Each structure stands twice: as C-alpha cells, then as structure tokens.
Structure 1
Amino acid sequence: MLVLGISAFYHDSAAAMVRDGQIIAAAQEERFTRKKHDPSFPANAIRYCLDEAKASGETVDRVVFYEKPFLKFERLIETYLAFAPRGFGSFRKSMPLWIGEKLFQRDLLLRELKEISPALGEQGKLRFSEHHFSHAASAYYPSPFQSSLVLTMDGVGEWATTSAAIGQGDNLAIFKEIHFPHSLGLLYSAFTYYTGFKVNSGEYKVMGLAPYGEPKYAKAIFDNLIDVKPDGSFRLNLNYFSYCTGLTMTDRRFDAIFGGPPRRADEPLEQKHMDLAASIQAVTEEVVLRLTRSLAAETGHRNLCLAGGVALNCVANGKVLRDGRFDRIFVQPASGDAGGALGAALAVYYDETRGGDAARVVKQPDAMQGAFLGPSYEQADIERRLEAVGAVFSVVDDNSVIEKTAAALASGQAVGWHQGRMEFGPRSLGNRSILGDPRSPTMQKALNLKVKYRESFRPFAPAVLRERVSDWFALDADSPYMLLVANVKSERCRKMSAEEQALFGIDKLNILRSDIPAVTHVDYSARIQTVHKETNPRYHALISRFEQLTGCPVLVNTSFNVRGEPIVCTPEDAFRCFMGCEIEFLAVGNCILHKEQQNPDLARDYKSAFELD
C-alpha cells in the first residue's frame, strides 16, 4: 500500500511517502522553493516523493492531509464567539480567507493534486488525519519501541495543544488532551514575540539565549500567566494574551508585568531579555517534567515518544531523560508541522491495514533512516550541475574526500559538506552541513558572524562519534537527531575564574570553558548529535579521520545555509551559499572546491538575499 502524506497552508509545508509501512521519502517544500517555512501547497515535495518511490498518481493508494480543516474552523468560530465583541477586527480579516479557501480545503487539495496528476486528485483517495494524531503517529510508528507512551505538545492543532497517547504494536490511541486556548507552545511563543523574535521560527533563539540569563521572572509567570497542577495539566490566564482575538501574541497587561513593551527586532538584546528567556525556559521545563512524571506513574510505560513543536526544545528533552522516569526516549526529528505529513501517512496506513498480514516491524535504532529522506544526486549529475554554475572543482576518490576534508577541518577552515540524501526536519545532520573544528576558541564567533550572518549568542552543536559520546559528554545514549542536551564532561571543562563568573549576558560568550569551546554553551551544555556508522558511514568516517589527526572525535555541525535561508538542497544551492559567505572549502559528493580557486565575479551579497528569520 502506497500512501502520500501532506502538510500545508500554515507553515513548513511538506510531503512524505510511505510504502507498506516503510518510509520512502520526505521533504519540506521550502528546500525546493527557497522560501523559509514556505506554507504553500508542497507540489515540489510531492513530485520528489513520487520520483523517489518510482510511483505515479495511479499507483498511489491514499493521499492524507495532516489535519481536519472543519474542526479547525469550528475552533476559530467558537473562539471568536467566546470573546465577542473583542477581536472583531481580527475576525473580519480572517473570515474571507477561511470561507474562500480553507473551509473548502478538500476542493483546493484535489485541484492542486490534479495539477500534478489527475489520478492523484481522485476524491476517493483523499483522507484527513487529526493534527495531534498525525504528530503522535510520526513519533510512535518510526520509533524503536513495541509499546510506548507518546506525548505531543505544540501551539495548537484543531483543538488539542497537548495530548498523551499509548502505542502498542500497530495500535495508537490518544487518551488525554489539553485544549486551546491553553497551550504551552503558545505561552513559549508569547515570549518569543515579546523578546523580539519571530513566532514559529524564533523559539529556538529563545532557548539558545536562556543560558545567558537568570530565571528572575519565573515566579511572575507562575503567579500571573499559568496555573500548573502537580500532574502537569495547566491553564493560562487569558487576560494577559491577545492571540485568541488579536493580531499579536500579548497585550498591555502582559507588558505591565515585565516592565515595558515588546522588544523590536532592530533593538539590542539586553540582560532583561536574557532573563526572560531563562524564565520561560525554566517554566517550560517544569511543566514538561510534571507531565512526563505523572504520565509515567499513571501508565507504567518506560518508553517515551515525543512530537510537536515543543519537542524541539532539546534542553527540556535532556532533562526528561536525566529525570529517569523513562529508560529510552525517541523524539521525532521533524517534530513540527512538517513531520505531520509523515505521521498522517503512517496513521492511515496502519489504520487501513490493521488486522491484516503486514504487522508493524520495529527497527533499530529507529525507522527514520537517520532522517536522510530527501533528494540525493549522482556524481555525474553533481559534476554537470557545478559546471553549469561556473564552479571550479577537482574530482577525487572516496578516500580522498575524507582525507582532504579532514585536513581542511584540522587546519581551521570552515567546510561546506553536501553528501547523500538531504535531511528531513529542521536540523542538518551531516549531509547538508557546515562543519568546523570544535577546539578552536574563535570558531563559534567566526561561524556566526562570517558564515551564518546571525546573532553572536547562538550556540553550535557537536557531532560526536556514537562510540565516543560518553568520553566527552555526560550522556551515554543515542541522540542522532540533535534533540538532547547534556553537559560537556567535567574533566574536559575549564573552571572559570571569579572575575569570569561575575560577567553577565553576552560578556560570557568568549570565555574559554572547555577543550571544545566552539560547541560548549555558556552553561557548559551542548546540543549533541551522535553519529552512527550504520546510518551515515561517510560522515562517521570523516569524524573518525579528524580524530586520528587531532585526537578529537567531535566536529562543529551547523546547517548549510545563512540566516533566513532554507537549508541547501541541490549542488547549485551549496555552491551559491559557498560563494555568498566565508566558507573556505566545499565537498559536494566527490567534488572538492577551494574558495581561492573560484571566479570572484560569482560571489554574491548573500547577507541581504533572504528575509531575516
């Protein structure tokens, strides 16, 4: 049975293809259109999935949308009625779009599908899955567990904002929900907005900013904004928020608690903003821990699956693991709405085949194939594409790719690494990555300011050989998707002086605090990616060779893009980014490119090519 899953029309549109329960392909639309968080119908991603599956519209059995538009419309109407006459302006602006397009989303989907293939748009093939069930399915079905508790937390789906489910064999069932407008994801987004970042894209910046501050406002948040019960269930005080009826997240009463209006994006970050980030991070962690502890006690399950946008909070995930209520945790690498496409396809497959001969097969370490589910390019195709854009390159054998790249990294160069299938989800995991030497005390600042063109406080992730992770970090578990945070091992750390400890905020940034300063955050933590030979042998070989040269089995790994740009997809994307920033060395397949050998006329002003996120 061949099932195509789709998520679209909000943010991070995507498509995924599942054949007989096996994930064949998955990709976000933004990677093809080059529009970050592109919400449009994922026509390019669908075409890629069809090509990868060697399928046509005729051979696809089901097409599944990741949520139910009528339920979402019901929530919108009921919310406006509950708060009337407040929010009439917002109601008036949103209704034409809903009535003209979203209310009739079935017809819109069928029209768009028919543009790709008339057979793909046959009405009898189309199904709809509930938003949170799609998330839960995206985490449970690819997980390495025969049975598991599944916790989904995000902004909002149709009604649910938090849900708990039990997965057992082929069966998955939600048994508990918290409904809109009470939402941990929207509470976090309110602080994203208030600290001057973009909602639905800047939440990870708040998480990265938090270690620079102190949770001075946590009590104010608990006292005024959220009532959390011992079991983790919660309610927000809606007097302080305007997302139900307005066009902003917060209002003047919210501002009054924290002493002023929201920060504008062009205003400097101050210590107050760092303290606010630390405070909402601490509150989020407390709520998540109460939820996971109570659900563990209630269900007795020792395996946990996580999905939804809040599951991308890797700091909270790391604390859940260390809390010890669960033996193993699996986090869906595409936890946001893009992953809903995959979950919807899996949900319908298992629903329609249940009771048949094809039972769910549990795979180790999981069924996500390292999240390497996007397009790849044959060597001859890479060479043609690079020649067409004027690149100067040499072609080397497999061993030389590893040798030359490892040598470039050991010499302190910033390296672009474009190999194999593109990653699905928001993280580069070693196939569309910018790499660097983590031992360098200047690498973090240089990558942020000269390559990524982004805020200087943003941390970078260490990619470490799985067999060596416990030698360098306070972790001995799989973290292939960069979704667990743990501290750098104490023996690898340098104790700060009294003067250094007295520093505040961004002044802490340039303090040398470990043997791998480029990936050690100001609180000695790191967002760890364990690299597994089974899922990415070439990347594993590169880090292994780097260790032979330097004694360090760790690399800096950040996404191959500049600020505001989607992660690169094609060899041409990689070359353009290479020429638009200060990456010095590029490996695309077996093609090696050095910046000094390129035509300087091909350089471009990449800093202003994309809208800042």
Structure 2
Amino acid sequence: MRVLGISAYYHDSAAALLQAGRVVAAAQEERFTRLRHDARFPEHAIRYCLHHAGIGLDAIDRIVFYEKPFLKFERLLETCLAFAPRGFQTFQKAIPVWIKEKLFQKKMLHHRLQALGWEGDPDRDLLFSEHHLSHAASAFYPSPFEEAAVLTLDGVGEWATASCGIGRGRELTLLKEIHFPHSLGLLYSAFTHYAGFRVNSGEYKLMGLAPYGEPRYKDAILENLIDVKDDGSFRLDLSYFNYCTGLTMTNERFHRLFGGPPRRPETEALSERHMDLAASIQAVTEEVVLRLARSLAKETGMKHLCLAGGVALNCVANGRVLREGGFERIWIQPAAGDAGGALGAAFCGYHLFERHPRTVSAGLDGMQGAYLGPEFSQEDIRTRLEALGAQFVVMDDSDLVEACAEALAAGQAVGWFQGRMEFGPRALGNRSILGDPRSPDMQSVLNLKVKNRESFRPFAPSVLREEVARYFEMDADSPYMLLVAEVAQRRRRSLSDADRQRTGFDKLKVARSDLPAVTHVDGSARIQTVHKETNPRYDALIRAFQRRTGCPVLVNTSFNVRGEPVVCTPEDAFRCFMGTEIDVLAMGNCYLKKAEQNPALKKNHAGAFELD
C-alpha cells in the first residue's frame, strides 16, 4: 500500500511517501521553489516523491493531510469571540482568507491533486489527521522503539499546543493535551520576536544567543508570564501577549516588564539585555520540557521517549531531557516541525486509518539517516556543471575523499554535495559546508565570509559515532544534530580570570577547547554522530581527515547562505559556491577549486534572498 502525506498552508510545506509502511521519499517545498519556509501547496515536493518511486498519483492508495482545517477555523472563531472586541482586528484580517481558501481546504486540495493527475475519491481516499497526532506519529512510528512515551510541543495546531501519549506497536494514543492560547512554543516565539528575530524562523537564533547571557529574567518570566506546575503543565498570563487579539506577539505590558520595545531587526545591535532575555527564556523552556518529560516517565513507566513538534528542535532542551528526563533513550524526529507533519500524516494513514502492522527498523531507525530527498547521477552532475561553465576534474571515490580531506586539513572551506538531500532543517553530510574544527578562525570565517550571517551563531560538529565519547560528555546516537552536550573536559582549555570575566560577544574571542570552531561559548556543542551504515561516503571523509590530523570531527553547516533554503540541485550548489568564499566544491565525483573558475561567474549570492 502507498500513502502520500502532505503538510501545507502555514509554513514549511512538504510531502512524504510511504510504501508498505517504509519511508520512500520526503522533501520540503522550499528546496525546489527556493523560497524559505514556503507554505504553498507542495506541488514540487509531491512530484519529486512520485518521480523517485517511479509512479504516478494514480498509484497512490491514500492521501493524508496533516491537520483538520475545520477545527482550526473553530479555534479562530472561538478565540476572536472570547477576546471580543479586541479580537476583531485578527478576525477581520483572517476571515476573508478562510472563506476564500482554508474553509474549503478539502475541495482546494482535491482540485490541486486533480491537476497533478489524481483520480481518487476525495470522500474515501483523501483523509485528514490532527496536527499533534501527525507530530506524534512522525516521532513514534519511525523510531527504533517497540513502545515509547511520546511528547509533542509546538506553537499551535488546531487547538493543541502540547500533547502526551503512548505508542505500542501500530497503536498510538494521545492521553492529554494543553490547548491554545497556552503555548510554550508561542511563549518562545514571543521572545524571538522581542529580540528582533523572525517568528517561525529565528527561534534557533535565540537558542544560539542564550549562552552569551545570564538568565537574569527567569524569575520575572515565571512570576509574571507563565505558571508552571510540578508535572510541567502550564498556563500563560495572556495580558502580556498580543497574539490572540492583534497582529504582533507582545504588547506594551510585556515591553514595560522587560525594559523597552522590541529590538528593530537589522538596525539595532544586540545588547547584553537581549542576551540575558534569550538565556532566561531558554532556561524556562528547559524547565518546562524537563518537568513534562519526568512526569511522563513516571506516569507511563516507559523507558523510551519520542519527541516532535517545533519545540523538539530545541537541541539544548533535548540534551537535558536525555541526561535528566528519566528515560533510558530518547528519539527525536529530524523534521520535527510542520514539514515532518507530512510524514506523520502518512504514518497515520497507514497504521491508524488502514490498520497495517508496524515493523520496527532493524537499523538506527526508520528514517534512513533522513536522506530522503533528490539525488543526481554522476553523469547528470557532469552535464549540468558543463552547462554552467564550471571547471572541474572527475575523480574516483578514494581520490575525491582524500583530496577533500587534504583541503580541510589545510584550513579550506569545502562544499559537500553528495547523494540524497536531507529531509528536515539540518544538513547532515549530503548538502553541507565543511571545515576544520581545530581552527580558531573557522567559526568567524564561515559565519561572515561564507554564510553571510550573524557572527554569534555556533556551528555543529560531525563526529564518528565510535569517537563521540572521547570528545563530548555523551555516549549516545545523535544522527540528526538534535542533542547538545558539553565538550569533554579533557578537550577544554583552562581560562584566565580575565577570559572568564568576558561578557556578551566578547566571549567569542576565547578558544575554549581544542575544537574551537564547534565549541560554543558555554562549552557545549550541537552534535551529529556519523554512521557508516547511513552515510558511508561522509564517514570515509571524516576518517581520511582523522588520518591526516588525528581528529575524527568536522565542522558541518548547511550548504546555503542566510535566508536561502539548503541547496537542492547542482545548479543551486554551484551558484552558492561561486557567490561565497567556499574554496572547494565536491559534487558527486566532480572536484572544483574556486581559484580555477571563471571570475565572471561569481555573483553576490548573499543578496539574492530575503534575510531570515
């Protein structure tokens, strides 16, 4: 049986295809349209999934949408009525869109699917899951656990903003929920907005900013904004927020509490106050997630936990849940946000609606390393590069790996375009920019000269799985870069009193370990463990680098610039290569040096995308 899952019309539209319960393909629409967080109907992603499977839509047995539009409309109406007359502005702006499109989403989906050649019966073959059930399904069904507790946290679905449940075999049951407007995700997004970052895009920046500050406002948040119970359940004081009745996240009362209006993005510098606010909301978020996890562990008696929803991308909180949450093992869906809802919807269709049994994957999990997107043959890559006017040599596998390892050891930035594109927000060694983690300058070089992004942003290490405990205070699988742990003490450097007293971005000037490019200012790192079973070529590259340097770790960041989706095609990669200061590009078995390219092909790639 084949099931197609779709998420769309809010942010991060995507499509995912299951065949006999196995994930065959999955991709976000943004990768094809080059519009970050593209929310439109995922036509390109659907076409890709079908093309990869070698089928048409007529071969699909069920199509499942990731949420229920009528329940969402019910929430809009009830919220506007509950906050009347203050909710009228939101109602006035939203209702024309709902009446024109969203209220009749089933009809609209049917029309778009028909245009792609679908001839199914919409009453029988077009199904709808609930938003948090889709998240929960995306977390449990591809996990490596026969049974597990499940925790989902995000901004809001239809009504739910958090859910707890249990998965056993093919069964998945949600036991309890927290409902809008009380939302941990929206609380975090309120501070994202207040710090001058874009909601649904800049939350990871706030997380990266937090270690530069101190949680001086934690008590103020807990005393005024959120009431957290021992079991992690919570309520917000809505008098500080504007998202129910207005078109912004925060209001004047919030601004007075924290000392001024929201930061003006791109024009107002980040201050220590913003850093302290980031540290404070991060500390509160970790506290809530930990309490929820511990309560769920005690209530269910489960040894394993699965996580999804946008808050599950908070890898610092995930690391604390692993260490302190009361579970033996945790597993996080790599596409934890709304894109992963497409995958969860497909799993709901297969296991819950159609009642097919579940088989736990014999490998790491059922996600195949999240390498579920498009790939390009060597001949196709060569033809495309020639059409672009690129200068390159073709190497065999061994020579290519050795040449890239040599370039990395020499301190060069390497674009690495191999195999199938990753599903989810992280580049995991197939659409990556790589560097030497031992270099004290690599973090600033990659941020400012390659990625064209804020200087404070940290980079992640990719480390061979068997070496992770030698370099980090963790000995667990983290294939999806969703766990943060401390750099091992034996790798840390002793700091002078003056260095320990540094504040704000001045902390960036201090090398804190023998892997300075991947050690954040608090001594932590967002870890990706690399497994030969899921990515043998990337594994081989790190081993070649280790032979030269003794170091089994690489800097790994996504192959894009600020505001750009991760590269999908060879053309995307070449444009990014030529528009930044990446030194070397390895695409399939083609090896390109920047110095050998036609200078006329170089363009300012940074200005091509709207800043995130």
Q: Report the TM-score when normalising by structure 2.
A: 0.99
Cα displacement (A) at 1:388: 1.1
Q: Which residue is 1:487 aligned to?
A: 486
- CA distance in 1 between counterparts of 2:362 and 2:77 reads 43
Indicate whether 1:465 and 2:485 are aligned. Answer: no
Q: Which residue is 1:208 aligned to?
A: 208
Task: Give the letter aligned to residue 240 of structure 1.
Answer: Y
- CA distance in 1 between counterparts of 2:360 and 2:416 reads 33
- CA distance in 1 between counterparts of 2:121 and 2:560 reads 35
Work out whether residues 312 and 335 of structure 1, in 8 Å CA contact, stay in contact via their aligned partners in 2.
yes
Q: Which residue is 2:437 aligned to?
A: 438
Task: Give the letter aligned to residue 260 of structure 1.
Answer: G
Cα displacement (A) at 1:120: 5.6
Check 1:120–1:263 CA distance in 2 against 1; reply closer, same or farther (3 A cut).
Answer: farther
Check 1:594–1:142 CA distance in 2 against 1; reply closer, same or farther (3 A cut).
Answer: same
Cα displacement (A) at 1:57: 1.5
Alignment of 1:585-596 (within 5 A): 585-596=584-595
Cα displacement (A) at 1:353: 3.6
Q: Which residue is 1:196 aligned to?
A: 196
Q: Which residue is 1:561 aligned to?
A: 560
Task: Give the letter aligned to residue 602 of structure 1.
Answer: L
Alignment of 1:361-372 (within 5 A): 361-372=360-371
* Superposed CA offset, 1:21-43 (max 9, x none): 10000000000000000001000
Q: Which residue is 2:607 aligned to?
A: 608
Indicate whether 1:38 and 2:34 are aligned. Answer: no
Q: Which residue is 1:7 aligned to?
A: 7
- CA distance in 2 between counterparts of 1:535 and 1:78 reads 47
Q: Which residue is 1:344 aligned to?
A: 345
Q: Which residue is 1:477 aligned to?
A: 476
Q: Which residue is 1:303 aligned to?
A: 304
Task: Give the letter aligned to residue 566 of structure 2.
Answer: I
Alignment of 1:239-388 (within 5 A): 239-265=239-265, 266-323=267-324, 325-354=326-355, 358-388=357-387
* Superposed CA offset, 1:266-314 (max 9, x none): 2100000000000000000000111111111111011000000000000
Work out whether residues 143 and 363 of structure 1, in 8 Å CA contact, stay in contact via their aligned partners in 2.
no
* Superposed CA offset, 1:350-400 (max 9, x none): 02342x6x4433433100000000000000000011111111111010101
- CA distance in 1 between counterparts of 2:446 and 2:216 reads 31
- CA distance in 2 between counterparts of 1:329 and 1:401 reads 36
Cα displacement (A) at 1:605: 1.1
Work out whether residues 135 and 308 of structure 1, in 8 Å CA contact, stay in contact via their aligned partners in 2.
yes
- CA distance in 2 between counterparts of 1:401 and 1:127 reads 47
Q: Which residue is 1:186 aligned to?
A: 186
Task: Give the letter aligned to residue 518 of structure 1.
Answer: A
Q: Report the TM-score when normalising by structure 1.
A: 0.99
Q: Which residue is 2:579 aligned to?
A: 580
Work out whether residues 141 and 358 of structure 2, in 8 Å CA contact, stay in contact via their aligned partners in 1.
no
* Superposed CA offset, 1:310-331 (max 9, x none): 0000000000111151110000
- CA distance in 2 between counterparts of 1:388 and 1:427 reads 29
Q: Which residue is 2:226 aligned to?
A: 226
Work out whether residues 472 and 488 of structure 1, in 8 Å CA contact, stay in contact via their aligned partners in 2.
yes
3-state SS of 2:406 partner: helix
3-state SS of 1:199 partner: coil
Work out whether residues 111 and 121 of structure 1, in 8 Å CA contact, stay in contact via their aligned partners in 2.
no
3-state SS of 2:57 partner: coil
* Superposed CA offset, 1:395-433 (max 9, x none): 010101100000000000000000000000000000000
- CA distance in 1 between counterparts of 2:206 and 2:162 reads 21
Cα displacement (A) at 1:122: 4.8
- CA distance in 1 between counterparts of 2:53 and 2:10 reads 26
Q: Which residue is 2:519 aligned to?
A: 520
Check 1:25–1:121 CA distance in 2 against 1; reply closer, same or farther (3 A cut).
Answer: farther
Task: Give the letter aligned to residue 132 of structure 1.
Answer: H
Task: Give the letter aligned to residue 437 of structure 1.
Answer: D
The worse-fitting range, judged by mean Cα deviation, of 4-13 and 108-117 is 108-117
Q: Which residue is 2:405 aligned to?
A: 406
Q: Which residue is 1:106 aligned to?
A: 106
3-state SS of 2:517 partner: helix
- CA distance in 1 between counterparts of 2:272 and 2:358 reads 54
Work out whether residues 110 and 123 of structure 1, in 8 Å CA contact, stay in contact via their aligned partners in 2.
no
Task: Give the letter aligned to residue 567 of structure 2.
Answer: V
- CA distance in 1 between counterparts of 2:495 and 2:563 reads 34
Work out whether residues 290 and 325 of structure 2, in 8 Å CA contact, stay in contact via their aligned partners in 1.
no
Work out whether residues 110 and 121 of structure 1, in 8 Å CA contact, stay in contact via their aligned partners in 2.
no
Q: Which residue is 2:417 aligned to?
A: 418
Task: Give the letter aligned to residue 492 of structure 2.
Answer: C
The worse-fitting range, judged by mean Cα deviation, of 205-214 and 344-353 is 344-353
5+ residue gaps, structure 2, are: none
3-state SS of 1:519 partner: coil
- CA distance in 1 between counterparts of 2:145 and 2:283 reads 30
Cα displacement (A) at 1:213: 0.1
Work out whether residues 418 and 431 of structure 2, in 8 Å CA contact, stay in contact via their aligned partners in 1.
yes
Q: Which residue is 1:140 aligned to?
A: 140
Work out whether residues 139 and 331 of structure 2, in 8 Å CA contact, stay in contact via their aligned partners in 1.
yes
Indicate whether 1:59 and 2:59 are aligned. Answer: yes
Work out whether residues 146 and 362 of structure 1, in 8 Å CA contact, stay in contact via their aligned partners in 2.
no
3-state SS of 1:70 partner: helix
Task: Give the letter aligned to residue 88 of structure 2.
Answer: F
* Superposed CA offset, 1:188-219 (max 9, x none): 00000000000000000000000000000000
Q: Which residue is 1:453 aligned to?
A: 452
- CA distance in 1 between counterparts of 2:340 and 2:509 reads 36
Q: Which residue is 1:164 aligned to?
A: 164
Work out whether residues 29 and 38 of structure 1, in 8 Å CA contact, stay in contact via their aligned partners in 2.
yes
Work out whether residues 80 and 90 of structure 2, in 8 Å CA contact, stay in contact via their aligned partners in 1.
no
Task: Give the letter aligned to residue 566 of structure 1.
Answer: P
- CA distance in 1 between counterparts of 2:362 and 2:460 reads 26
- CA distance in 1 between counterparts of 2:126 and 2:488 reads 51
Work out whether residues 114 and 121 of structure 1, in 8 Å CA contact, stay in contact via their aligned partners in 2.
no
Work out whether residues 211 and 522 of structure 1, in 8 Å CA contact, stay in contact via their aligned partners in 2.
yes
Q: Which residue is 2:131 aligned to?
A: 131
* Superposed CA offset, 1:549-595 (max 9, x none): 00000000000000000000001110000001000000000000000
Q: Which residue is 2:538 aligned to?
A: 539
* Superposed CA offset, 1:232-273 (max 9, x none): 000000000000111000000000100100001021000000
The worse-fitting range, judged by mean Cα deviation, of 194-203 and 118-127 is 118-127
5+ residue gaps, structure 1, are: none
Work out whether residues 7 and 66 of structure 1, in 8 Å CA contact, stay in contact via their aligned partners in 2.
yes
Work out whether residues 197 and 203 of structure 1, in 8 Å CA contact, stay in contact via their aligned partners in 2.
yes
Cα displacement (A) at 1:121: 7.3
Check 1:578–1:120 CA distance in 2 against 1; reply closer, same or farther (3 A cut).
Answer: farther
Work out whether residues 473 and 489 of structure 1, in 8 Å CA contact, stay in contact via their aligned partners in 2.
yes
When the two structures are aligned, how many residues end up with a matched partner? 611
3-state SS of 2:562 partner: coil
Identity of aligned residues (%): 68
Work out whether residues 370 and 422 of structure 2, in 8 Å CA contact, stay in contact via their aligned partners in 1.
yes
